[in-house]
Structure 1
Amino acid sequence: MYVLKFGGSWFRHPFWRAHFLLTSEEDVQRVRTSGVPFIVIDDQRGVAAEPAIPAAAPQAAPRPANVRRPALSSVRAANEPAERPQSQRDRDRAARLVQQAKNRMKGVFEAARLGKAVRRADVEPVVDDIVASIEHNAQALIGVIRLKSKDEYTYFHSVAVCTLMVNLARHHSLDEATTRDFGLAGLLHDIGKMGIPDDILNKPGKLTEGEFAIVRDHPNFGHSLLSATPDMSPTALDVCLHHHEKMDGTGYPFAMPGEAISLAARAGAICDVYDALTSDRSYKEDWAPAEAISAMWNWEGHFDQALLFEFMQSISVFPKGLLVRLRSNRLALTLENRRRASRPRVCAFYSTRDREFLDPEIVVIRDDLSGDQILSAEEPALWGFTEWDAVALALESGQDSRFVRQRTMTARAANG
């Protein structure tokens, strides 16, 4: 049978994908024992269900008098563990997905190393799984992909970039088909590295000019590999070939100007670099997410800044010291995270509606609409903050609105 949908909770069924063909007795038994109340099948894409034979209704046993049955929620075996919190179950499931996806991509990459063509049927289930997981709990999966070892980087990196690409595409409100294309492109963007010898790919020291020339050729090699697949996505081919191009035209392999670089390739460049910076490698330690984002934001001419800001929003990581506009019609200063994986914090201090200073307030940015959110990055000078560094320092040090207003007015007077 071709399964279109499982009934009940997303966490009750034993499969990552929501729709696929049941082909083995083992899978059938997994469905039977999973506890799902029903499944929806497609008769046109698989075997139809056999008509059910009505069964005689069982006779209910007489109920003893004066016996009160306890509520089901109050009954628990003595050795039955308490149910784990939903957030922990989400993380556990995301971890299993990532491990399965990494193993699948290891096989795909090793086959490519031997010169075998990539089959879409081998990689599209990974994209399906990641899309489903992102739709269910994006932050759980993004948190898991940050935890990788240097020994498995090549395969893990492809899964991580796929995850980040899908997450960014959804944040950008792209349609489902395009989102999946972005995910497939992220999954295969570095397939060309299978043409780089391991001693160069994992070299702990600085590369020689000749070695770097070999590395710089991996987009061309990857594009050639993927082109051998007749039905390969044009988006995957594009991102594979162009994810090292830069907006100022100094990238490789073609030094393309920014306007010639597609949205997918711009997104691929951001997701690729972010995951590389936050990963532990043989030649460098991993950077904290905020540290990586801060560096990327300050690399002049490297990335599409507007898309990079969208990427920050999609992963809830922002550089320290940025002037931003909040959903609550306030301007705020982004603050340093207290912990490595904590939610972003800002100091709100100015009303965009009333054009006046407010008493500074520390705001924690949430992933949903239950709290305030960051809408855009703002240019300080356009709001009259000509000495933004001084204003930011005053806000960071906990000064009240009168002091901040005075520093701003003094700076404005000094600048005419």
Structure 2
Amino acid sequence: MLRRIAPSQSRMGMYIQGFEGSWFSHPFWRTRFLLERPEDLAALLASDVAAVVIDVERGIGPADSAPPTAAAITPPKRISIVAVPTASVTDAAKADRERARKTIARSKRVMKGVFDGARLGNPVDAEAVMPVVEDISDAVDRNPAMFIDMARLKSKDEYTYLHSVSVCALMVNLARQIGLDEPVVRSMGLAGLLHDVGKMAVPDEILNKPGRLSEEEFALVRTHPEQGHAMLENGGGVTQEVLDVSLLHHEKIDGTGYPYGLKGDAISLAARMGAICDVYDALTSDRQYKQGWTPLKAATEMYGWEGHFDRELLFKFFRGIGIVPTGVLVRMRSNRLGIALPDGSKETRSKVRVFHCALERVPLTLEDIFLTSSGGSDHIVSEEDPVHWGFADWRTLSERLSAGRAARG
């Protein structure tokens, strides 16, 4: 159930469904997220937002009385507010985790049935799996980081089915990152769910072979995009995005991909998105023949593959999952420049160490900003060229910053 409230009634654990007023009046890059962090509550209270719409079925309701006000903030100053109870936030996170677990289990069962039927030559009915897309989309909407992380962790014997679930979630998340309309978001999710159905025409012993494939075996694997396109072409509920992703998710921007060697804009937006989501999940998943990489290692490697992906889309994808290749110079919404660094030893998230004011072009006291996928009050808006900002010896400067030393001195 949706309710409209004043920002002063907002409190931790509310699920923000939307804001009233201009997009520029609110300090978040997402319009729907669980309000979990004290600094985000402070940013909301200090903003020009007239009212927020909350979903009381996804979070707590409005406060009985107005919470303590937070002083207006001017980035890049730190925010200090009084502590607020976190029990409701913890409960909401537990509920999200349980919903995510059930959604993943249901989705896996459905996709196993779809893929088993495809092996037997049965037509693929996209309409029949739309409820799965809806469930995954809702789970990503609630807590994208949690769902994507849970779907990424899969056993070797269930990779085929859960890879599709993961790519669906990543496609939904990326589609929302770039501002696509919800019907298109759902279509992108459906495309991710069905992108690899053509592999059902490839024998399991080849798909799961632990060693290097022979030329003949690899040639057979490379037929799966066209096989999948053929399986989907005459099915019910198939959109153009579904057909494009199934057929073209192995194309590369520089024309070295397959099956047609298309270049640049000749590859549709859906297929360019599908290529990124497919490769990222494959790299971070355990397989019969390899251990999965950490999210940060996968992002760093993908970032270094020149000509493989749409670079603008790739950066937005990274930003949306809270991972940015280490050493990249970025600009924050607060008009501070920072360097992307690992957030912890497990390399599942990144942080940004801000050090320079982009407006006044002066050094700042070092501060670490921890990235979230829930739409924090300060977040990355762009990748920047160090040379443009006068950082000619970026390698030396990045080493100083990584070690926690100021940019000058």
In structure 2, do the counterparts of structure 1 residues 119 and 319 end up closer, same or farther at CA, with 3 Å as the change threshold? same
- Are the aligned partners of 1:366 and 1:372 in contact in 2 as well (CA < 8 Å)? no
Q: Note the 1:3-402 alignment, pairs <5 A.
A: 85-340=91-346, 343-368=349-374, 370-402=376-408
Equivalent-residue separation in structure 2 for 1:244 and 1:388 (angstroms): 34
Once the two structures are TM-superposed, the CA of residue 368 in structure 1 deviates from its matched residue by 4.4
Equivalent-residue separation in structure 2 for 1:133 and 1:10 (angstroms): 16
Farther-moved stretch of structure 1 (271-280 vs 126-135) = 126-135
Once the two structures are TM-superposed, the CA of residue 141 in structure 1 deviates from its matched residue by 1.1
Q: Per the alignment, in what secondary structure is the counterpart of residue 114 of structure 2?
A: helix
Once the two structures are TM-superposed, the CA of residue 401 in structure 1 deviates from its matched residue by 3.5
Deviations for 1:244-276, whole angstroms, at most 9, x for unmatched residues?
A: 000000000000011200110000000000000
Larger Rg computed on CA atoms: 1
Q: Per the alignment, in what secondary structure is the counterpart of residue 376 of structure 1?
A: strand
Equivalent-residue separation in structure 2 for 1:10 and 1:155 (angstroms): 33
- Are the aligned partners of 1:359 and 1:401 in contact in 2 as well (CA < 8 Å)? no
Farther-moved stretch of structure 1 (338-347 vs 388-397) = 338-347
The answer for unaligned runs of 5 or more in structure 1 is 12-36, 39-81, 404-416
- Are the aligned partners of 1:278 and 1:286 in contact in 2 as well (CA < 8 Å)? yes
The letter of the residue matching 1:362 is D
Equivalent-residue separation in structure 2 for 1:326 and 1:247 (angstroms): 28
Equivalent-residue separation in structure 2 for 1:168 and 1:345 (angstroms): 20
The letter of the residue matching 1:189 is H
- Are the aligned partners of 1:189 and 1:236 in contact in 2 as well (CA < 8 Å)? yes
Q: Per the alignment, in what secondary structure is the counterpart of residue 85 of structure 1?
A: helix
* Length-normalised TM-score, structure 2: 0.77
- Are the aligned partners of 1:364 and 1:372 in contact in 2 as well (CA < 8 Å)? no
Once the two structures are TM-superposed, the CA of residue 221 in structure 1 deviates from its matched residue by 0.5
Once the two structures are TM-superposed, the CA of residue 131 in structure 1 deviates from its matched residue by 1.4
Once the two structures are TM-superposed, the CA of residue 200 in structure 1 deviates from its matched residue by 0.4
The answer for unaligned runs of 5 or more in structure 2 is 4-12, 16-55, 58-86
- Which structure has the higher relative contact order (CA within 8 Å, separation 6+)? 2
Cα RMSD, aligned residues only: 2.3
Q: Per the alignment, in what secondary structure is the counterpart of residue 363 of structure 1?
A: strand
The letter of the residue matching 2:357 is S
Equivalent-residue separation in structure 1 for 2:14 and 2:217 (angstroms): 48
Farther-moved stretch of structure 1 (82-91 vs 182-191) = 82-91
* Length-normalised TM-score, structure 1: 0.76
Equivalent-residue separation in structure 2 for 1:360 and 1:346 (angstroms): 10
Paired-residue identity, % = 49
Equivalent-residue separation in structure 1 for 2:387 and 2:408 (angstroms): 20
Q: Which runs of 4+ in 1 moved over 3 A?
A: 366-371
Equivalent-residue separation in structure 1 for 2:177 and 2:252 (angstroms): 22
Farther-moved stretch of structure 1 (142-151 vs 356-365) = 356-365
Equivalent residues, number? 330
The letter of the residue matching 1:260 is A
Equivalent-residue separation in structure 2 for 1:203 and 1:308 (angstroms): 30
